[in-house]
C-alpha cells in the first residue's frame, strides 16, 4: 500500500547519457552519471508514485521500488518515452541526450586510416523533449537545461521552444554542479512563476524539492 503526495501518479523519468555506437567497440556519449535522474526516481517513489526510470547508464544500482528500463541510444530512449506518454501524469527528461548519432553505425571495427585522419558523419537525433512537448495532452512535462554560458537566456528559450511546463536549469561550468557530482545547483523556470534559484545541495534533497513542486502542480 502506497502513501504520499504522489500516490497513484505515474511518473516517467529519463537518466544518464545516451550512447551512440560508432562501431561494435566504440561510442559517442557524454559525462552524465545518471545521479540526478536516479535521485528524482527515488524521491518520486518515496512520495508514493508509480515510477518508471528509463536509464542510459549501467553504473548505478536500479532504485528500489522503481521499474527501471535500460536503453542506450537516443532513438531507443525516444521509443520508451513515447510508449509511456499516454499513461503518464508527469514526464521528466533528466537524461543528457546526444544531439547527434552516426549516419551509419559501422558493422565492423573501424581500421586506422592511412591519411592520419578519420571523418565521421553525424546526423541529428530527434529532440525528444520537444517532441513530447508537441505530443502531450495533459501530462506535466519537465525538462532540464545544461549550459556553460547564458544559462537563463538559453533556459527560457528551451522552456518555450520545447513546450515544457517546468525547466530545471543548471550551469554545468561551475564546480559541484551538474555532470558527475553528488550535488547540484539549479534555477527552476515555469510558464507562470518567476524563476527560482535553489541553493547548492545534494541531488537527493534537490530531487525531493523538485518532486514536491511537481506534486503541487499535478495535484492542482
Query: Which residues does the annotation place in the binding site?
Result: 99, 109, 126-129, 144, 158, 162
Tally of CB atoms within 10 A around 163? 17
According to the binding rule CB under 6 A, does residue 129 interact with ligand PMT?
yes
Q: In this complex, which beta carbon is closest to ligand PMT, that of residue 47 or of residue 170?
A: 170
For residue 147, the SS3 value is: strand
Grid cell digits, residue 32: 552524465
Please identify which residue in 178, 204, 206, 218 interacts with ligand PMT, judged by CB under 6 A: 178
According to the binding rule CB under 6 A, does residue 204 interact with ligand PMT?
no
According to the binding rule CB under 6 A, does residue 46 interact with ligand PMT?
no
Q: Return d(Cα 218, Cα 220) in angstroms, integer.
A: 5
According to the binding rule CB under 6 A, does residue 53 interact with ligand PMT?
no
Q: Return d(Cα 153, Cα 41) in angstroms, integer.
A: 28
CA distance readout (Å), 12 to 56, 94, 192: 14, 10, 23
Q: In this complex, which beta carbon is closest to ligand PMT, that of residue 49 or of residue 144?
A: 144
Half-sphere exposure of residue 54, counting CA atoms within 13 Å on the CB side?
28
Active site residue 150: no
According to the binding rule CB under 6 A, does residue 172 interact with ligand PMT?
yes
**Phi, psi for 218 (deg, rounded to 5):** -90, -15
Nearest approach, Cβ of residue 114 and ligand PMT (Å): 35
Specify the stretch interacting with ligand PMT by CB under 6 A; choose among 28-36, 61-69, 83-91, 209-217.
28-36
Nearest approach, Cβ of residue 70 and ligand PMT (Å): 15
Tally of CB atoms within 10 A around 79? 14
Q: In this complex, which beta carbon is closest to ligand PMT, that of residue 4 or of residue 105?
A: 105
Specify the stretch interacting with ligand PMT by CB under 6 A; choose among 58-66, 91-99, 113-121, 206-214.
91-99
Say which DSSP state 96 is in: B
Active site residues: 30
Amino acid at each position: 500500500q502506497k502513501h504520499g503526495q504522489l500516490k497513484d501518479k505515474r511518473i516517467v523519468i529519463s537518466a544518464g547519457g545516451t550512447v551512440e555506437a560508432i562501431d561494435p567497440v566504440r561510442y559517442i556519449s557524454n559525462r552524465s552519471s545518471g545521479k540526478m535522474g536516479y535521485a528524482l526516481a527515488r524521491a518520486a517513489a518515496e512520495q508514493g508514485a508509480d515510477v518508471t526510470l528509463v536509464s542510459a547508464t549501467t553504473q548505478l544500482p536500479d532504485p528500489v521500488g522503481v521499474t527501471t528500463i535500460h536503453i542506450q541510444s537516443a532513438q531507443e530512449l525516444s521509443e520508451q518515452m513515447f510508449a509511456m506518454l499516454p499513461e503518464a501524469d508527469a514526464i521528466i527528461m533528466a537524461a543528457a541526450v546526444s544531439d547527434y548519432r552516426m549516419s551509419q553505425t559501422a558493422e565492423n571495427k573501424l581500421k586506422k586510416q592511412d591519411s592520419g585522419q578519420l571523418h565521421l558523419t553525424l546526423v541529428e537525433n530527434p529532440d525528444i523533449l520537444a517532441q513530447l512537448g508537441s505530443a502531450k495532452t495533459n501530462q506535466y512535462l519537465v525538462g532540464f537545461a545544461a549550459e556553460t554560458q547564458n544559462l537563463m537566456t538559453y533556459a527560457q528559450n528551451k522552456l518555450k521552444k520545447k513546450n515544457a511546463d517546468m525547466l530545471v536549469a543548471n550551469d554545468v561550468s561551475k564546480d559541484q554542479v551538474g555532470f558527475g557530482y553528488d550535488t547540484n545547483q539549479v534555477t527552476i523556470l515555469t510558464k507562470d512563476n518567476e524563476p527560482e534559484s535553489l541553493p547548492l545541495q545534494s541531488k537527493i534533497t534537490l530531487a525531493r524539492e523538485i518532486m514536491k513542486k511537481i506534486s503541487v502542480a499535478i495535484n492542482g
